[in-house]
Structure 1
Amino acid sequence: MSQPDVSAAGGPSTGVISKIENAKQPSYEDRVLAQLERALRWQPGSAQQVLDGGEPRAIDGLPSLQADLQANVDTLEEEGDSPITPQLRALLEQAQRQTRLQLDELAAKVDEQNQLIRRLLDERKGA
């Protein structure tokens, strides 16, 4: 995904993405990392793992599953004009739309829970 794609998918601005990619800061706000994770469809905490030298974790592995399915459909299309290929393409697109909606709903719920946890931790620190 390009920086504008990530930003358009709900991630941070392209300027902030550039700073992250070029390690211009030692750390980033949780809000920024959560935006990045949501746009890239990573599990919470994955952005920090990457910054620490680790690997991100996809939400339920669905993006990689979609990529595998897309590759299989592309292979079928390359092998010839099978009458089933348009049907597979339509099913794939429908599955991708449904998956994106479900992932967006899940990401919104995770964000809500993260905000609640942060608020409770802030309250606990202030008490």
Structure 2
Amino acid sequence: MLVKPMKDELTEIGFVELLTADDVDRAMKDAATGTTLVAINSANSCAAFAARPGAWLALSGDAKRPDRLLTVFDEQDIEATAQMRSYLEDIPPSHPSFVLFKDAELVYFLPRHRIEGVDAQMVASQLEGAFNEYGQ
């Protein structure tokens, strides 16, 4: 049985992987209008096993879909993750987690402690609520 790399689980559903600080800055400049969902991906967390399928469920449901989907992979793309965190004022590091920006303003944060211990459907439900509240 082949196991899909964890990074691929998000990029296969449309997330753009940001590998460097410059990638993050360019992507966040584009986030000046519309909605942008950022997934801070993680390999070292049981919560990640609900986060990635939860994102897939939320994006394949009836909720309004964000205009842009971005991801950084904590523990692997250190520079990109650090740069993304610079856009998350006053938010402590949390991975996995999801951040929703609207017109470059942080409007929703789903931290690890709200992902941990729940199933993918609950993660999806939380994300769909944010998409519907802040979507275009």
TM-score, normalising length: structure 2: 0.34
Query: Normalising by structure 1, what TM-score?
Result: 0.35
Write 1 or 2 for the structure with the bigger share of strand. Answer: 2
Q: Is the radius of gyration larger for structure 1 or structure 2?
A: 1
Q: Which has the higher contact order (CA 8 A, sep 6+)?
A: 2
